Chains A and B, each alone.
Chain A
């Protein structure tokens, strides 16, 4: 009498796709959503664009209209505008830190437990 073979419907360990680290198995979708919130990315992009556009743009806008061709004052204004962007960035970074302290207290504690 032949013994009945056990036919398992489940995949064996060898047949399963592995999830290695953060890279998912072959038939699953990988998580490509950024770890940082979109608002932070938009803030960084805005500051990058401002750093490129604002100083040199303010130079070309004001050199003929406001300063009547005196390019020295317009150049000084461009340097000042670059520093204004920097100070704005420092304040934005400080505000980011404080909002995280107030809002993310519980999350921070949970994260510590994981580690």
Chain B
């Protein structure tokens, strides 16, 4: 396909910004979740070291947010190829599609990581005082985590559309 209005030279820029958005926003969310719940674990661990193993669950969930971003980044990166013979074969439609993939998984990951961080911090501190909080804390964490999963599902569906 020749360079045209449908596949301009700047189209790969938009697609690659989708990769960057997915990785950057997703990792901001995962880092916030890990750090905030890590503060809570540090507070709990000095009083009840036996609870640390169960209190690490929000940290593991934050790690999963980063895995979602990573999967989408790899998927988008596989669709991007260097232009053959100086001609761009990457349409503007695909570029915006990949940008929306990256933004959807990145920003939902940011939201989910923020939720996991706050719930993880307060949750493990409450769990130290009242062990019945654990089931509720894990359920809230799973519902927070599912927000990132929705973004991943939307991004996967969008990514299949760009192939056709």
Contact = CB atoms under 8 A, between A and B. Distances in A.
B63 A40 contact: no
B47 to A, nearest CB: 10
A94 B51 CA distance: 10
B54 A97 contact: yes
B53 A97 contact: yes
Interface residues of B, number: 24
Interface in B39-73: 49-50, 53-54, 56-57, 60-61, 63-64, 67-68, 70-72
B158 to A, nearest CB: 10
A97 B64 CA distance: 23
The DSSP consensus for interface residues of chain B is: helix
Interface stretch (A3-11, A25-33, A73-81): A73-81
Given A93-B54, A100-B50, A83 B64 contact: yes
A66 to B, nearest CB: 16
B152 interface: yes
18 contacts: A36-B49, A47-B60, A51-B63, A51-B64, A56-B67, A59-B71, A71-B75, A71-B78, A72-B159, A75-B74, A75-B75, A75-B156, A78-B67, A79-B71, A79-B152, A82-B64, A82-B67, A97-B54
Interface of A: 35-36, 40, 44, 47, 51, 55-56, 59, 71-72, 75-76, 78-79, 82-83, 85-86, 89-90, 92-94, 96-97, 100
